[in-house]
Copies of this chain bind each other. A is one copy, B any other.
Amino acid sequence: MKFNKLLDTMPIYEAGKPIDLIARKYGINKKNIIKLASNENPFGTSLKVITKIKSSMNEMFRYPDDSMYELKNSLSKKFNVNKSNIIIGAGSDQIIEICVQAKCDKKSTVLMANTTFAMYEISAKKVGAKIIKTKDDEHNLEQLFDLYEKHGADIIFLCLPNNPLGECLDKNDVYAFLKKISKKTLVVVDGVYQEYASFKDKNKLINASDLITKFPNCIYLGSFSKAYGLGGMRIGYGIADKNIINTLNKVRNPFNVSTLALIAANEALKDEDFVNKTIKSNFNEMLRYEEFAKKKDIEYIDSYTNFIIYKFGNKFDSKILSEKLLKKGIILRDLSSYKMNAIRITIGTNKQNTKVLEVLNKLLK
């Protein structure tokens, strides 16, 4: 049977390895496995959310409220935008895909940094769009603008801060760039790790309401998967001009987010203490990874997220190291699928990090 030719060259997203798989493969007790591979919240989920979900069991049989009234209400207050400015997706990656489907086809051009979130490229390839990347791995606005002038762009992706590298552009630089971009181009400002970046440095803060008012061709993306501790629930959001949202909603399928995810996200927004505790611990613990890297003379990128990159150059091999770590029950993210000899470490709890650094200390010799 023949399928769309586009699929012949489709890359497959390489996800962080699940704990169960490693437990089966290496015969390790699940409880002894540390997974710091998918930038999940090491503190798990807020107790307030857990309590709320436990009392919502009689909602599982019902289709979700497809208007997503309650959650849009809460997000509109948090971000000072109208409900009509908001779209909810099964993770922000679903909104990325919806943007690409709404805006692009085989004749389109999509522009992004050389090393950035893999789903931008995967979504663009699915519709056969031309993908243009900068020479630099990290976001380089000059290079992006040069490429924009040369090739044009139907969509530009900016990941602020950038996954999987961790660097983050300043808001002022981003705004200066956006001023030069045609209003016909959709600019996706992916703020999935913004809670972390804006805590570390106020110059990184992108205010969604201000962004879409000044640049009505932008969509801001946020997530409940990271600081809000709901990675397994699959829920994220987009904030944009209502004309963009109306169009995206034509692509969005009904009931794209589960009933419990809507309830959990809405409750998670009420527990800012949990988010603050998460982020404070994150940057305290990150210092330990920075110190370790300095001690071992390993290159790392100053990170505005909940993860850190170790680049190995010709010192170590990230694939071999990751395999060795797996055998010891530690799951980190080998970045060879991003064509980098590097690993990405999600910042864990104090106890997890102690163990990981101890094992890394033995292996990186």
Contacts and interface: CB of A to CB of B under 8 A. Distances in A.
Interface stretch (A77-85, A97-105, A130-138): A97-105
A61 to B, nearest CB: 4
Given A16-B63, A65-B20, A258 B256 contact: no
B61 A3 contact: no
Interface in A234-270: 234, 243-244, 247, 249-251, 253-261, 264
A204 interface: no
A18 B70 CA distance: 12
Interface stretch (A48-56, A293-301, A318-326): A48-56
A250 B7 contact: yes
Range, interface on chain A: 35 or more
Contacts of A49: 60
Q: By DSSP majority rule, is chain A's interface helix, strand, loop, or mixed?
A: loop
A103 B3 contact: yes
Contacts of A12: 249-250
Contacts of A90: 90, 234, 256, 258
A330 B97 CA distance: 37
B64 A60 contact: no
Given A40-B61, A126-B101, A66 B184 contact: no
Given A18-B65, A18-B66, A50 B60 contact: yes
B91 A62 contact: no
Given A61-B230, A63-B38, A102-B7, A258 B261 contact: yes
A58 interface: yes
Interface centre among A12, A19, A254 (most CB of B within 10 A): A254
Nearest to A94: B253
Nearest to A154: B2
Contacts of A116: none
A353 interface: no
Contacts of A217: 1
Interface in A30-50: 35, 38, 40-41, 43-45, 49-50
Given A69-B20, A101-B126, A247-B3, A60 B229 contact: yes
Interface in A1-22: 1-4, 7, 10, 12-13, 15-16, 18-21
Given A7-B250, A122-B253, A233-B258, 8 more contacts: A1-B183, A2-B184, A18-B63, A49-B60, A53-B57, A53-B60, A54-B57, A93-B254
17 contacts: A41-B61, A44-B58, A45-B61, A50-B57, A50-B60, A53-B57, A53-B60, A60-B230, A60-B264, A63-B225, A63-B231, A90-B256, A90-B258, A101-B126, A119-B253, A126-B251, A232-B258
